[in-house]
Amino acid sequence: MSGLRGAWQIKLHHAEYGAEIIRSVGGDEEVAQLVARHHRPGEDTQAELLRRIDEKT
């Protein structure tokens, strides 16, 4: 998918895409899970911090 719709899809699903990239290059699974859940952090303070940082970029 390209153009505006593609950009929207990437923004909408970037947490999952990022987690999958981390896994695909042999990255740490805990970090991948943190990235995957940062849009729904719940009581997870690390995920909440990542969500706040992500909102500023």
In degrees to the nearest 10, what's the CA dihedral of 44, 45, 51, 56?
Answer: 170
Tell me the pLDDT band of 1, cut-offs 50, 70 and 90: low
Number of structural domains found in the chain = 1
* pLDDT tops 80 at residue 57: no
- Confidence (pTM): 0.77
Which pLDDT tens digit goes with each residue over 4-47?
887 777 777 889 999 999 999 999 999 999 999 998 899 999 99
| Structural domain boundaries enclosing 52 | 3-56
Which structure tokens are listed for 13? 């699903």
pLDDT value for 31: 97
pLDDT value for 45: 95
